[in-house]
Structures are given as structure tokens and as C-alpha cells.
């Protein structure tokens, strides 16, 4: 069932915005005028992805820089390794696998963005 999320002029090209729809936290991404919906929590350690960077179809997580293809949700690269002098756990520890993001179909109609959420 398609649910109205917002209007297209609320998200500039290259921008992202988080919404809660039907109890799901999603991020709408505007890649050159085409909109995509991905889950909000990073597939590595659940950082909020709307705080990351969007370059074309590639969304980079703000926390450890894992990258995802917003068209499919596929994890393209895992987190960056920690700096040598960091006291924090290594985000590239293989026990912390990076999973793909869930995605949902998006429809644009009369300037409004709808997301197909079951
Ligand atoms: S939480 Fe996103 S890369 Fe670690």
C-alpha cells in the first residue's frame, strides 16, 4: 500500500530526509530528481543514515563510512578501519558484518512522494 510521505520540493537533489511511516523508520533520498526509500538504520551499527552523505546512488554512513547503493540497498563497502591511535573498538572487526539495507518502492504523483509499505 502506497503511503504519502512528503512533497518532492521538501527534499532537494542530493538530499535525504527521515520519516516514520507505518511504524517503519525510512530515509527518502533524492538522487538527481529520482527518489528512493531505504531503511534509516545503517546495516553496520544502526547509525542514522540521513546524517550521512549522498553522492549519486551511493549513500555513505556518517559513523564509520560504510557505503550503500540506494537503488538496491546493497552494501558496497564495509566500515573504514579505526585510526591507529583510536581507543574505540575497530569498526572493521569482521564480527560486525555490514548487512544490506531494506528498500521500498517509491512513486511520485502530482508532486507528492509515496512509499509502498506492506
Ligand atoms: S554504523 Fe554505519 S558504518 Fe558503522
Q: Per-domain residue ranges for the chain?
A: 2-116
Partners of residue 112 on adjacent β-strands: 7, 109
- Each residue of 62-106: pLDDT tens digit? 998 999 999 999 999 888 777 777 776 677 777 678 999 999 999
Q: What is the pLDDT of residue 37?
A: 98
For the CA of 91, the nearest atom of ligand 1: 4
Contact, 112 vs 7, CB < 8 A? Answer: yes
Q: What is the pLDDT of residue 109?
A: 97
Average pLDDT over residues 20-31: 97
The residue whose CA has the least distance to atom 4 of ligand 1 is: 64
**If one looks up domain 2-116 in CATH, what number appears?**
2.102.10.10
* Dihedral angle computed from the Cα positions of residues 15, 57, 20 and 108, in that order, rounded to the nearest 10 degrees: 80
Q: Tell me the best of 39, 42, 53, 99 to mutate to test the pocket of ligand 1, counting ligand atoms within 8 Å of each CB and taking the most.
A: 42
84 burial type by CB count under 10 A (0-12 exposed, 13-18 middle, 19+ buried): exposed
For the CA of 43, the nearest atom of ligand 1: 2
Task: Tell me the DSSP string of 46-100.
Answer: --BGGGSEEETTEEE-TTT--EEETTT--EEE-PPPPPTT--S--TT-TTSPPPP
Partners of residue 81 on adjacent β-strands: none
Residue in the structure block whose three cell numbers are 583510536: 86
Amino acid at each position: 500500500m502506497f503511503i504519502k510521505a512528503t512533497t518532492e520540493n521538501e527534499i532537494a537533489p542530493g538530499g535525504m530526509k527521515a520519516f516514520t511511516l507505518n511504524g517503519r523508520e525510512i530515509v527518502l533520498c533524492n538522487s538527481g530528481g529520482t527518489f528512493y526509500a531505504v531503511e534509516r538504520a545503517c546495516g553496520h551499527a544502526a547509525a542514522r543514515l540521513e546524517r550521512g552523505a549522498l553522492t549519486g546512488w551511493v549513500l555513505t554512513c556518517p559513523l564509520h563510512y560504510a557505503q550503500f547503493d540506494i537503488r538496491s540497498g546493497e552494501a558496497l563497502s564495509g566500515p573504514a578501519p579505526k585510526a591507529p591511535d583510536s581507543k574505540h573498538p575497530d569498526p572493521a572487526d569482521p564480527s560486525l558484518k555490514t548487512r544490506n539495507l531494506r528498500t521500498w518502492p517509491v512513486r511520485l504523483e502530482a508532486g507528492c512522494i509515496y512509499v509502498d509499505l506492506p
